[in-house]
Homo-oligomer: A and B are copies of this chain.
Amino acid sequence: MSPRTKEQNEVIREMRMTQIMRAAAEVYLEKGIQLEIRDVAVQAELGYGTVYHYYKNKHMLLEDMLWDALNRTESALFPDVTGDGGSLRKAESFSRLLLRECVQDPSVFILLKTVADNFHQFPGNRFIKLYTEFQERIYLPFVGMIREGMGSSSPEKTANLVFGSLVGYAALNIHHNMQSEIDAEGIVNMIFSGIRPRESGTE
């Protein structure tokens, strides 16, 4: 009866959802949590009914977008990070990659900012699971690197400091349309030269 096979439909489905999430991220960048489904539909060049065809409601869409971003963040970070070198080097590399992802992928930026802001202004506790997973899959590994690399007594504080700075810096540039100016190398060097333990001896 159907002129399309199941597989074809599956492909369309996949495509549409990606298209919608991408649009949502772009609109979110502009309007924040106040984004309207209608805006998303316009941005995606779809009717707004179509958005509802794929997402039961606004929050499911945002949630899906953020889960997707979490997955992509993880894949972007870990192949490269888990490598050689001292742990602090890893943390630096991790930070650099994070920043680069932010610039390239709006939804990754949104994820990080949203986590940094503790999902304030997101209603309900729909996002607790997402937050927990972010902690486990992204934040705690990062804290680990810092701990190992510095022997710091409170690696969480340091991690927060780095994480907050990175996200704040990214936000400032992105919201002022200066993505291109973001100097991942520079800021990461700065931050880490600031936190790196004073080399003993000759100072």
Measured CB to CB, the residues of A under 8 A from B are: 29-34, 116-118, 120-121, 157, 160-161, 163-173, 175-176, 178, 181, 183, 186-187, 189-195, 202-203
Contact = CB atoms under 8 A, between A and B. Distances in A.
A27 to B, nearest CB: 11
A7 B128 CA distance: 43
SS class, residues of chain A in contact with chain B: helix
Nearest to A167: B168
Contact of A190 (B33, B171, B191): B191
B33 A120 contact: no
B120 A175 contact: yes
B176 A31 contact: no
A34 B175 CA distance: 19
Contacts of A181: 157
Q: Which of A116, A118, A161 has the most CB of B within 10 A?
A: A161
A169 B175 contact: no
A170 B170 CA distance: 14
B30 A32 contact: no
A95 B154 CA distance: 23
Given A121-B33, A175-B118, A194-B190, A161 B169 contact: yes
Q: Which of A32, A160, A193 has the most CB of B within 10 A?
A: A160
Contact of A168 (B34, B168, B192): B168
A161 B176 contact: no
Contacts of A32: 32-33, 120-121
Contacts of A170: 164
Nearest to A183: B157
Given A120-B175, A164-B165, A190-B195, A34 B31 contact: no
A203 B172 CA distance: 33
Contacts of A195: 190
A125 to B, nearest CB: 14
Contacts of A165: 164-165, 168-169, 187, 191
